[in-house]
Amino acid sequence: MKFLLTLAVWVVTAGIVLFFFAYRGAEKGGEYVRTIAKEREITVEITPTFSTAKDPFALDVGEKTKGFTVILDGKKVFEADEGVTKGIPLVLNALHISGGKHEVAVNAVPPAEGGANAVRIKVLEGGLVIAEDTKWFEDGQDISAALMFDTGKEQ
């Protein structure tokens, strides 16, 4: 008899929990709304306090590494060994992204001499600054800076 009572309590408890979850999901309705991501155009400005240089200690194993790389959401958007000059902004125009969270990363090899280095990353949309930050690095340290930004909900 105790076994049947225990079984009945478990069945009632499980039924109440299942009913609760079924009812809670029914409040929101069952319709599916598909959102289409609106593509946005941004500009990224990167101002280093150093000029680019090749890594003197890099191994030549067939993989070509560049002295200055800009990555947007995991895709390389700019690479160069030379041409990035101290104090002059590198402007990357017409980069297309969808709404939501994104990341701009900068990897660089500054010259061995010259003291501490910094890189300023600025993200603009329609001429307005939506994110900016300056990352500082000690002398002799490779630059690896990232800036996360949010362009709002997808539309």
pLDDT in tens, the chain (155 residues): 888 889 999 999 998 888 877 766 555 555 555 555 578 899 999 999 888 766 566 666 665 667 789 999 989 999 887 778 888 999 999 888 888 889 999 998 887 777 888 999 999 998 899 999 999 988 878 889 999 998 876 54
pLDDT for the residue numbered 84? 84
Dihedrals phi, psi of 8, to nearest 5 degrees: -65, -40
- Residue ranges of domains in the chain: 40-150
Contact of 118 with 137, CB cutoff 8 Å: yes
Note the pTM of the prediction, 2 decimals.
0.67
- β-bridge mates for residue 91, sequence order: 45
* Closest of 69, 63, 68, 50 to residue 112, by C-alpha: 50
Contact of 104 with 90, CB cutoff 8 Å: no
